[in-house]
A and B are shown apart, each in its own frame.
Chain A
């Protein structure tokens, strides 16, 4: 029953997306692809997908690099304030998103006056905000990956005279490459679907895909959203089922 509850809303959008009407309704008798056409014909959708991809890739790269450096630093030196430092870095993940949104709104409206290119309602500004929001998740995944690394191999490398850079790049990183990859992937997905903060820091110029969907859901209920949702759900489901098959053939 819970399974049905979990999947029902995802299945419900499928018939809605084929309605010929211009408002949210069930198709009665006639099915139509008009809302899928809309996705192709209206340049707004394509533009927002490209923008979301660009922001997602860039913020994921930045967040993963910063998080990897941070986690390596913590792991290699184990400073006394480890708990404090990690706790501080994880803050944006724990603080309610609405508060983070207000905080980043404060930051970006302030930046607008100093550096207009990075401020409110610009795509680099969105990247900055997304990096802040997703870096904690990347840090968490990489720290988990590092927890599985045997410290003795690092000690051995040090004993053999490896420099810090060599230890990091040639010994530790290869051991956590899967964790880093997962962190980058998760970061991308989180940025790709981020809406809470994006809603606060954009208005008309930097319209990401979730931002455009928000306008379609909140301001007027547009069945084109159903078509987008069906596409997104199909991609997610295929990836997950694919991963499951892959894992099964693996073991």
Chain B
């Protein structure tokens, strides 16, 4: 009847947010891109440095290693607690839900500090182990890669739980019953039927965790204590401690490119899964 008027109104409604993000996000990002090729002198030298500078290179390798380890451990832990959340008894489910949601809603700072309280040389773990006489000297559990991996895994578990749990909810319980009826052992049902059926959720969760871990900054900065710098912290250092904005900007641009590729993969693998689950 009057299709044009609503269309114009609709576009007007979307305009304020689009304008804000264009002006306050997209344009400044182009500015960062410009930094990466103009500071300190025009050219691609900063990108070349990324792959030749030994410090930058070691940080890239470490980031990749930590992110991979964190992804594997977070997925394993998330799978276990998601299983209880989806298929446990009602009290178990409520407990699992609290265990997932309380950390989820608590700020990254508090959680990193909690690990510091637990693992530092005068923290809970070392105090107990020394009081029990197991240790004479405190163990170094933070300000190294171990602390970073533990803290990041802890932070990312809830994010991995949600896609895995939704894949688990989509599993038809009758399939499992049928398998039991045909004489499969519980272990066999779990590994040969349940896990393969939730595989899209696992892949989606793994990509999400990996992407989040790549851009991680707060937890490594607190729990790594400058001894295991990751890419994001390297950007921070180049911005504020040894002003080298060009290199910081080049790292940012490269991070966006990597994340873009991973998100394209996520779109390709996990979206059909989400569509299947909603049906």
5 A–B pairs (Cβ distance < 8 Å), ordered by A: A2-B80, A73-B14, A107-B24, A139-B17, A226-B113
Q: Judging by beta carbons under 8 Å apart, are B12 and A73 in contact?
A: yes
Q: Judging by beta carbons under 8 Å apart, are B221 and A218 in contact?
A: yes
B106 on interface, CB distance cutoff 8 Å: yes
In the complex, chain B residues whose CB is within 8 Å of the CB of A77: 6-7, 9-11
Chain B 238-277 interface residues, beta-carbon cutoff 8 Å to A:
239, 248-249, 252, 255-256, 259, 263
A15 on interface, CB distance cutoff 8 Å: yes
Chain B 42-94 interface residues, beta-carbon cutoff 8 Å to A:
77-78, 80-81, 94
A99 to B214, CA, bound (A): 11
Q: Judging by beta carbons under 8 Å apart, are A24 and B12 in contact?
A: no
Query: Chain A nearest CB: distance from B212 CB in Å?
Result: 8
As a 0/1 sequence over residues 1 to 21 of chain A, the CB contacts with chain B under 8 angstroms (1 = contact) are 111011111101101100000
A92 to B114, CA, bound (A): 28
Q: Interface residues of A toward B: which range? A: 35 or more
For chains A and B in complex, what number of residue pairs have CB atoms within 8 angstroms?
Answer: 246
In the complex, chain B residues whose CB is within 8 Å of the CB of A13: 110, 113-114, 117
Q: Judging by beta carbons under 8 Å apart, are A236 and B114 in contact?
A: no
Query: Chain B nearest CB: distance from A32 CB in Å?
Result: 16
Q: Judging by beta carbons under 8 Å apart, are B110 and A229 in contact?
A: yes
Q: Which residues of A contact B (CB under 8 A)?
A: 1-3, 5-10, 12-13, 15-16, 23-26, 66-67, 69-70, 72-74, 76-77, 79, 85, 88-89, 91-92, 94-107, 110, 128-129, 131-132, 135, 139, 164, 189, 192-193, 195-196, 199-200, 210, 213-214, 217-218, 221, 225-226, 228-229, 232-233, 236-237, 239-241, 244
In the complex, the chain A residue whose C-beta lies closest to that of B31 is: A106
B191 on interface, CB distance cutoff 8 Å: no
Identify B239's interface contact among A8, A128, A200, CB under 8 A: A200
In the complex, chain B residues whose CB is within 8 Å of the CB of A16: 117, 123-124
B162 on interface, CB distance cutoff 8 Å: no
